[in-house]
Chains A and B, each alone.
Chain A
């Protein structure tokens, strides 16, 4: 990982590029810095903190935020007194680990690489665009990014929301949407896709802080098209957040408030006052987009984002150069995460011949056997962490106290236990003192346990014979003004740690082999993309398709919104899939049975139309790409009148040759059956589908009069251009309210549409030649599959991912991955990316060839198990199964799937389940050490 660096130039070809970088000096030796933060405390110079949007002050020597990677401080040369004026240097003697190095110079480095992934993120909307809302002039007009830092509990105001003008808590806050997006005034015609959702989130967070605060969101369309995002909007409405469909023209100071002038859709001009105005600013193309384009020769689109095609969404115009994240187009966290995994797949394909080359495996000494009857010999190491611990906690006292505890045969202190020399000392001490348990009282096991466990392994001890006590993050740092109490707490925590350590046992390292084959369910665009992505990396798969041919929904589509032809792409893709020797396509097939766990699944597939045959497949991973289909609601005369069709049917019609295929008068109804009717969600694709058909109609018959009745037009991202195009071509868009939906009726062969025109404020009745319904998408057969594979589904029947933001393509059960419509409704482009992402995740165990099991997983003592099955029913990961042992049912842990949560152990009525590293005995002894009762006291109790 190279940080603090600029990308200068790229030469060469895919598979053999040379990238030139400029690495800026950090002025801190990353190997020596322990991120203790002392330097920042002593640095006398102020530095406006860009991480907090300039709302707070830090020091030139700092780290952006606590979780920054690498956890190494750096000096911003723009305000450092030594770099600017050759004075100060206070930090140099302050740093106990001598990490500060002002002799560092900028370095130019050349890297030989095979592929390039561009993920520079997004840029900021220019301040000039915000000026018309009085931003920069009135202190109570803030951007949503600033507001986000303000509401953040770890932000500059610890989550307290205040007006900058006079420090009062705002009682009324306005959010103005589409600032710098959908705004031709600043040449940003596109929709930034994320602002509606973040405004709702910020509104919800603000309401949590102060339920009384009045919040109004001024919007054009609420674009909560993401999975379950509409539910967040409903939640916001339910707790009183107001949504006003209006364009804000002006924000002016008015006494100590701000007056908003806005016009609503029915042509009225209104005023309202608020204490604070939050501008929902859009995502701009990255600042150096042009520079990147110049260095790599890639094409940009007209908004300076990376140009890509619908069928190859992560591929730039240059082979071997891949794009991911907001540079490809504005997007939110799950989409960005998905794209990054997808990009990894594309890069892995390019680099597959290099896989595994250049790696070195570390050798460890043979493990010393620690048996039960051996005396427990605990070594306690108390770390000062420079002065981070020792300035508050009396470390010598803590160490001395530890020395008096049972089983402690050695104790010492260390300036930095994590430093290289201290590690060597610990290793030597383990050997010299014949220690068989090690307790380190220092910082957090969450950051440092792996490092110390490595030290144990180097010394020949099992890495689990280790316990860490947190006397920094949980003690000296949070009780800085109470040294005595902090010392007492440290002693107690060490005693509890020592007591647990006396009862810990060596745990075996387990690995489980992986069968290098994937089972892919669904032969649509998602499943085919996964199969090809894996085949291109050298892995076999079985592609199970329920119908008689692969291709899925794509077979019904003619062209994309961008104008690409679907048929030729599909033909090419299916040909590649069917010809690939790595892909076994089984059609007319269904999964009837599946068992096993990551690396070792066995599935039964039934195939054939009349003569059914069964085949058994052993495979290491499962990818679910079972897709979905168009929902046909029993609404608006669909299926009753020939003049009422769906967008899909209209697309087919438009691609035909019939003379009247684009009639003179068409009414389209959006959200037909969606968002609260049959379906409780937004299907994400329908608005774009409508635009695609509208533009096609206008191409065939420019005279056609089209009226679109909608709730929110959700042409997010660059599809907004199509929406604008449609309006320019004279298409009329009229919003309708949920309680005043349009009514479609038939009179003979005629079809009549009655609706309330919210713009003209009058009832309208018309008899168009055609009514087109934008109906939603529903998943196929997720219910049965969810039962078979024990996977959770959402209330809308889509598979639930392991984490909606951070693990968007993994299922809760290890070794199972999701993509396409089975996960959520999404357009072709996003389906392809998600499939590539699922392939990336599925390839991880396939490439490794084994799954490593953390030794702290659960284990069942089958002699004690009464076979009640409580654990199996409670395990959230499907990691405990019931098996027959003789005539009895017994529980068994699938180690490879276990996440060590311990729910099974805490519920087992016979205490038959034990958690490695967190046994009942260990935890009870920790609790007893907490009580610290002497034997006599216990008797009394």
Chain B
């Protein structure tokens, strides 16, 4: 697979108080970024059980992003 055609599926866990807010702010500022991320909002990244990450990979994620 060439680099160009690779469009990864990324699953993100976003902390409500920081990263989710930052993603909102990115929107308000109209910052453009690639549309590869699908997000799950949590109240703190401390909520992210390691099993969620493994589950994400099992479900076909190419990468997992946690922002907190």
Chain A interface residues toward B at CB < 8 A: 66, 154, 444-447, 470, 472-475, 477-482, 485-486, 488-489, 492-493, 496, 856, 899-903, 905-906, 915, 918, 920, 923-924, 926-928, 930-931, 933, 941
Contacts and interface: CB of A to CB of B under 8 A. Distances in A.
Residue from the set A472, A475, A931 with the largest chain B CB neighbour count within 10 Å: A931
Nearest to A941: B58
Contact of A478 (B27, B41, B46, B52): B27
A66 B47 contact: no
Interface string B39-68: 111111011111010011011110000000
Given A479-B35, A930-B59, A906 B46 contact: yes
Contacts of B47: 901-903, 905-906, 915, 918, 923
Given A486-B35, A902-B44, A915-B43, A477 B59 contact: no
A930 B20 contact: no
B52 A496 contact: no
B59 A931 contact: yes
Contacts of B16: 446
A492 B9 CA distance: 11
Interface of B: 9, 11, 16, 20-21, 23-33, 35, 37-44, 46-50, 52, 55-56, 58-61
B27 A472 contact: yes
Given A496-B38, A927-B52, 15 more contacts: A444-B24, A446-B16, A446-B21, A473-B27, A477-B28, A478-B35, A480-B30, A856-B43, A900-B43, A901-B43, A902-B44, A905-B49, A918-B43, A930-B59, A931-B60
Mostly, the B contact residues are mixed
Contacts of A923: 40, 42, 47, 52
Nearest to B14: A474
A532 B37 CA distance: 55
Contacts of A445: 41
A926 B40 contact: yes
B43 A478 contact: no
A488 B35 contact: yes
14 contacts: A444-B24, A445-B41, A446-B16, A473-B26, A477-B28, A477-B30, A901-B43, A901-B47, A902-B44, A906-B49, A906-B50, A924-B52, A927-B40, A931-B60
A485 B21 CA distance: 22
B32 A480 contact: yes
B59 A928 contact: yes
B59 A473 contact: no
Nearest to A476: B27
Residue from the set A481, A482, A901 with the largest chain B CB neighbour count within 10 Å: A901
A485 B35 contact: yes
Nearest to B26: A478
A925 B25 CA distance: 27
A49 to B, nearest CB: 14
A480 B9 CA distance: 19
A496 B26 CA distance: 22
Nearest to A41: B30
A602 B11 CA distance: 46
A927 B55 contact: yes
A66 B30 CA distance: 11
A481 B32 contact: yes
A489 B38 contact: yes
B35 A482 contact: yes
B46 A902 contact: yes
B32 A473 contact: no
A7 B48 CA distance: 50
Residue from the set A66, A477, A489, A900 with the largest chain B CB neighbour count within 10 Å: A477
A902 B35 contact: no
Given A906-B48, A915-B47, A928-B59, A493 B24 contact: no
Contacts of B31: 478
Report the 6 A-B pairs with minimum CB-CB distance, sorted nearest first: A931-B59, A902-B47, A473-B27, A901-B44, A903-B46, A477-B27
A931 B9 CA distance: 9
B60 A933 contact: yes
Contacts of B11: 927, 930
Contacts of A902: 42-44, 46-47
Contacts of A472: 27
Contacts of B26: 473, 478
A613 to B, nearest CB: 44
A923 B21 CA distance: 19
A479 B32 contact: yes
A474 B27 contact: yes
